[in-house]
């Protein structure tokens, strides 16, 4: 920072000195100064120009590096703010919209910082404006009225522009982000688009967003054009006044010709510097609109306090921590619900204390999960996006410690919602969710600690772009290759992984697109196996497998479920019939509960479903 500031001041000082020596060269030609001074003036001027170029190189290099760091820091802070939001926040905002905010809209901040550093704009232009005014008043006070007119004209035009275009910049930033979000959403689902022949529909939808962006861009460009036109009018009028009034002063002998020539040079410098300040003002407006949108987005809802404790230190210095909570690994990355401490900003004693506190919380969560039943008592819940539609209605359900509970029922009955509540993605609107008799929202461990005790395999598993090994290891960072392979073998995934060209180092593609649905499912199961959590949630975990693979995976899951509190959501009889208890749900309530044999003897809803080997209706 100091080097960039010093180089900028030096370059500006050289720029301010140059007109004085250029005017001396002309004075030598017209006889106003001895010709013997010509060589010295020319050498001095050339030295100044070379020095300005060198100082500018240092300034631009340092300022751009600093600017990139500022933008990277902003992106880290914004990403941290997004990650600490509750799950309901992501129900309300499109992922592509948030990605566009991080890339496209914060790109305007990068333009402000980097582009203004690499040109004669921004803080340097402001310094040159001030310096030029001071020098001009010192060397040519009689030309001060012309200078005052030029400066005041630019100031008035710029102030009016900034006052009238704030809404235009905000609208344009939103429209440009929508274009990026639309493209990301379509290209990220290209297989679905292709399978339904939706290319034309997607193109039309993108065209609507692109047209809105064009309209907002045109409106903004009109405002920019008006500003440019007004500025040029001020420039030309100032020059006309300078030429006529200055010429009169020279002719009357009130101002020496050399001083007049220097004043002309300073005036041109002032014009360019002022233009740079004006352009910077427009960039500031665009960046302010983007930052305002980001601020409004992340402050609209309160973040998750447990995640606020987990992530802020991780973002400092852009580094992840050295120690993981809730697992045995103390190395690198993330995943598995673990908590991380920072490499910087804390003393070793503080980092150790934070790690011990977090480890104690995760250990308490795992101990509670192993030591008591999980109970949902009188739970009523509606998703925040549909607050008037209760998905669960006074639900009562006990998941006995170390036992397997299967849930069956109609689509929309609330089965997957129970899994999301058990993950504490949401809290019940009414009722209590407890473990070992202690409500989870008042437990000695927080939401992040609880998730360390839970492993979830959903109906549509998410794989991250990267290798097979990295995706499995996401369950327990720092796990050895042998542990990864063992988890894959237990999930019946080792054989197909070994047949891939690069084995465990094969790239799974975006969202696992390079793998089949069954292969993605088995990698997700392997990830859960590796996590070794005391609570296991299987939400249609075998739905994408063929009969042979399901049998092998079911055998592995049966071994995995032993001694763990397990919730199985399924629609196949083979998946649930060996559960310790089966809960039948309808319209957000448990209408039957018992073992497979007990429910068959009752001859109720479950018995009717088993006749068709189908457990959904």
For the ranges 55-69, 246-260, 314-328, 432-446, the lowest mean pLDDT is seen at: 314-328
Fold: same for 2-299 and 372-610: no
- Residue identified by tokens 């448990």 is 590
For the ranges 98-112, 211-225, 341-355, 372-386, the lowest mean pLDDT is seen at: 341-355
Q: Please, are residues 411 and 616 in contact by the beta-carbon 8 Å criterion?
A: yes
Q: What number is the average pLDDT over the span 199-225? A: 84
- Closest C-alpha among 338, 337, 341 to residue 355: 341
Q: What pLDDT, on the 0 to 100 scale, is given for residue 317? A: 36
For the ranges 11-25, 329-343, 419-433, 467-481, the lowest mean pLDDT is seen at: 329-343
**pLDDT band (50, 70, 90) for residue 343:** very low
Residue 362: is its pLDDT beyond 90? no
Q: What pLDDT, on the 0 to 100 scale, is given for residue 179? A: 82
pLDDT in tens, 219-235: 888 887 887 777 777 77
CA angle 21, 25, 27 (to 5 degrees): 110
Q: What pLDDT, on the 0 to 100 scale, is given for residue 279? A: 76
Residue 616: is its pLDDT beyond 80? no
Q: What pLDDT, on the 0 to 100 scale, is given for residue 326? A: 38
Q: What number is the average pLDDT over the span 320-345? A: 37
Cα(404)–Cα(31) distance, integer angstroms: 103
Q: What pLDDT, on the 0 to 100 scale, is given for residue 463? A: 86
Q: For residue 198, which phi and psi values (nearest 5 degrees)?
A: -95, 15
| Percent of the chain clearing pLDDT 70 (strictly above) | 83
For the ranges 306-315, 323-332, 497-506, 604-613, the lowest mean pLDDT is seen at: 323-332
Q: Please, are residues 459 and 374 in contact by the beta-carbon 8 Å criterion?
A: no
Residue 151: is its pLDDT beyond 80? no
Q: What pLDDT, on the 0 to 100 scale, is given for residue 390? A: 92
- Closest C-alpha among 158, 308, 336 to residue 231: 158
DSSP state of 302: P
Residue 352: is its pLDDT beyond 70? no
Sheet strand arrangement including 581-586: 454-457, 535-539, 565-569, 404-409, 581-586, 589-594
Burial tier of 210 (Cβ tally within 10 Å: 0-12, 13-18, 19+)? middle
Coil, strand, or helix at residue 492? Answer: coil
Q: What number is the average pLDDT over the span 178-202? A: 72
| Percent of the chain clearing pLDDT 90 (strictly above) | 15
**pLDDT band (50, 70, 90) for residue 617:** very low
Q: What pLDDT, on the 0 to 100 scale, is given for residue 442? A: 73
Q: How many CB atoms lie within 10 A of CB 6?
A: 14
Integer CA distances (angstroms), 387 to 147, 242, 381, 422, in order: 63, 69, 9, 20
Compare 329 and 187 and report the one with higher pLDDT: 187
pLDDT in tens, 91-107: 888 777 788 788 777 77
- What class, spelled out in words, does domain 372-610 have in CATH? alpha beta
pLDDT in tens, 48-92: 889 888 988 888 888 888 878 888 888 888 888 888 888 888 888
Q: What number is the average pLDDT over the span 410-420? A: 88
Which residue intervals of 300-346 are DSSP H helices? 305-310, 312-315
Q: Which range has the top average pLDDT, 234-248, 270-284, 449-463?
A: 449-463
Q: What pLDDT, on the 0 to 100 scale, is given for residue 327? A: 39
Q: What CATH topology corresponds to 2-299?
A: ABC transporter transmembrane region fold (1.20.1560)
Q: Please, are residues 100 and 177 in contact by the beta-carbon 8 Å criterion?
A: yes
For the ranges 237-246, 412-421, 469-478, the lowest mean pLDDT is seen at: 237-246
pLDDT in tens, 445-494: 788 888 889 998 887 788 888 899 999 998 888 889 999 999 998 888 89
Integer CA distances (angstroms), 585 to 397, 429, 472, 593, 615, in order: 11, 19, 33, 9, 11
pLDDT in tens, 384-403: 888 889 999 999 999 999 99
Residue 216: is its pLDDT beyond 70? yes
Residue 420: is its pLDDT beyond 60? yes
What is the number of residues in the chain? 617
78 forms beta bridges with none
**pLDDT band (50, 70, 90) for residue 10:** confident
Q: What pLDDT, on the 0 to 100 scale, is given for residue 483? A: 92
Q: What pLDDT, on the 0 to 100 scale, is given for residue 119? A: 63
pLDDT in tens, 561-591: 888 899 999 877 777 888 899 999 988 999 9
**pLDDT band (50, 70, 90) for residue 535:** very high
Compare 377 and 247 and report the one with higher pLDDT: 377
Compare 558 and 453 and report the one with higher pLDDT: 453
Mean residue pLDDT of the chain comes to: 79
Q: How many CB atoms lie within 10 A of CB 345?
A: 12
- Alpha carbon distance, N-terminus to C-terminus of the chain: 67
Residue 594: is its pLDDT beyond 60? yes
Q: What pLDDT, on the 0 to 100 scale, is given for residue 436? A: 86
Integer CA distances (angstroms), 264 to 22, 32, 54, 142, 603, in order: 11, 17, 25, 13, 101
Compare 327 and 180 and report the one with higher pLDDT: 180
Domain extents in the chain: 2-299, 319-367, 372-610
Compare 355 and 291 and report the one with higher pLDDT: 291
Q: What pLDDT, on the 0 to 100 scale, is given for residue 269? A: 81
Q: What pLDDT, on the 0 to 100 scale, is given for residue 56? A: 84
**pLDDT band (50, 70, 90) for residue 333:** very low
Cα(183)–Cα(516) distance, integer angstroms: 25
Q: What is the pTM of this model?
A: 0.70
Residue 341: is its pLDDT beyond 50? no
Q: Which range has the top average pLDDT, 257-261, 418-422, 548-552, 575-579?
A: 418-422
């Amino acid at each position: 920072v100091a080097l960039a500031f010093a180089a900028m001041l030096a370059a500006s000082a050289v720029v301010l000195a140059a007109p004085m020596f250029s005017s001396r060269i002309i004075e030598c030609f017209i006889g106003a100064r001895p010709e013997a001074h010509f060589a010295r003036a020319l050498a001095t001027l050339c030295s100044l120009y070379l020095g300005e170029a060198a100082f500018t190189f240092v300034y631009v290099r340092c300022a751009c590096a600093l600017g990139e760091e500022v933008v990277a820091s902003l992106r880290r802070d914004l990403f941290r703010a997004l990650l600490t939001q509750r799950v309901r926040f992501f129900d309300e905002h499109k992922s592509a919209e948030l990605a566009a905010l991080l890339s496209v809209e914060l790109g305007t901040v990068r333009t402000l910082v980097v582009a203004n550093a690499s040109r004669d704009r921004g803080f340097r232009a402001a310094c040159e404006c001030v310096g030029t005014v001071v020098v001009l008043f010192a060397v040519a006070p009689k030309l001060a009225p012309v200078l005052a007119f030029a400066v005041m004209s630019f100031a008035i035009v710029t102030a009016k522009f900034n006052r009238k275009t704030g809404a235009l910049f905000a609208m344009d930033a939103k429209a440009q982000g929508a274009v990026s979000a639309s493209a990301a959403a379509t290209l990220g689902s290209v297989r679905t688009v292709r399978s339904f022949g939706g290319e034309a529909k997607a193109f039309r939808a993108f065209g609507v967003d692109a047209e809105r962006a064009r309209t907002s861009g045109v409106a903004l460009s009109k405002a920019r054009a008006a500003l440019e036109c007004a500025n040029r009018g001020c420039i030309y009028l100032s020059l006309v006044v300078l030429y006529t009034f200055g010429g009169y002063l020279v002719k009357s002998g009130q101002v020496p010709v050399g001083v007049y020539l220097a004043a002309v040079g300073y005036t041109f410098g002032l014009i360019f510097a002022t233009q740079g300040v004006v352009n910077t003002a427009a960039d500031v407006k665009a960046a302010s609109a983007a930052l305002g949108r980001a601020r409004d987005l992340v402050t609209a809802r309160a973040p998750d306090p447990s995640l606020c404790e987990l992530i802020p230190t991780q973002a400092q210095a852009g580094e992840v921590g050295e120690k993981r909570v809730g697992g045995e690994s103390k190395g690198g990355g993330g995943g598995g619900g673990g908590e991380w401490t920072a490499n910087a900003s804390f003393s070793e004693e503080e980092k150790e204390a934070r790690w011990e506190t977090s480890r104690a919380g995760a250990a308490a969560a795992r101990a509670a999960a192993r030591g008591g039943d999980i109970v949902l008592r009188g739970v009523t819940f509606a998703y925040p996006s549909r607050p008037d539609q209760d998905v669960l209605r006074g639900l009562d359900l006990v998941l006995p410690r170390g036992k397997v509970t299967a849930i069956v029922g109609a689509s929309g009955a609330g089965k997957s919602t129970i899994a999301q509540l058990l993950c504490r993605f949401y809290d019940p609107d009414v009722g209590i969710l407890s473990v070992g008799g202690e409500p989870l929202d008042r437990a000695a461990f927080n939401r992040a600690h609880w998730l360390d005790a839970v492993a979830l395999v959903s109906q549509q598993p998410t794989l991250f772009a990267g290798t097979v090994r990295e995706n499995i290891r996401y369950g327990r960072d720092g796990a050895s290759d042998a542990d990864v392979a063992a988890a894959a073998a237990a999930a019946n995934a080792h054989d197909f992984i070994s047949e891939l060209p690069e084995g465990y180092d094969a790239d799974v593609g975006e969202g696992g697109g390079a793998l089949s649905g069954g292969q993605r499912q088995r990698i997700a199961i392997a990830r859960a196996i590796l996590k070794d959590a005391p609570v296991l949630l299987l939400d249609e975990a075998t739905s994408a497998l063929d009969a042979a693979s399901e049998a092998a995976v079911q055998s592995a899951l049966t071994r995995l479920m032993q001694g763990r509190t397990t919730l199985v959501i399924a629609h196949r009889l083979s998946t649930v019939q060996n559960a310790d208890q089966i809960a039948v749900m309808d319209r957000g309530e448990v209408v039957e509960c018992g073992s497979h044999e007990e429910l068959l003897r009752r001859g109720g809803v479950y018995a009717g479903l088993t006749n068709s080997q189908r457990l959904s209706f």
